[in-house]
Structure 1
Amino acid sequence: MTNDHRVTVHLDSLLEERGMTLTELADRIGITLANASILKNGRARAIRFSTLTAICDVLQCQPGDLLQVDER
């Protein structure tokens, strides 16, 4: 199954900049490591606003820092 969207997730770079692991982020925002990994690897089909808000709170960023729509 291929991605049918052009959204790129920049979770790797944000985590690296903040010296945080994916496991720590998942624990702090209350999602499973498996779901965090799906999001990080760009395989997520959707994200809840509550999850996006929690990620932005923990990483002290804006949604636009995390997500980008690529050109066609």
Structure 2
Amino acid sequence: MNFDALIKSIADIHRQTHASATKAVNTALTMRNWLIGACIQEFELHGEDRATYGDTYTYDHDVPLVYNLETLLRLAQTN
């Protein structure tokens, strides 16, 4: 084996393993997103604190929301 053959072998190994790793990560992330969606769907349909028809969903006011109405209005004015 000469140096050029060594470089080609290393590059081939890298390409093949990189492609396999990319597929594995993509599969794992797809499964993660599907499972998160299933959890959200289960909560929305059967959660203990699910709002009844016509009621609004209540949340713990001690947990701050990322955007409140004032923030949204300020953002709308700047854009």
Which interval holds the TM-score relative to the shorter structure? under 0.3
* Bigger fraction of residues in strand: 1
Structure with bigger RCO (C-alpha 8 Å, 6+ apart): 1
* Bigger fraction of residues in helix: 2
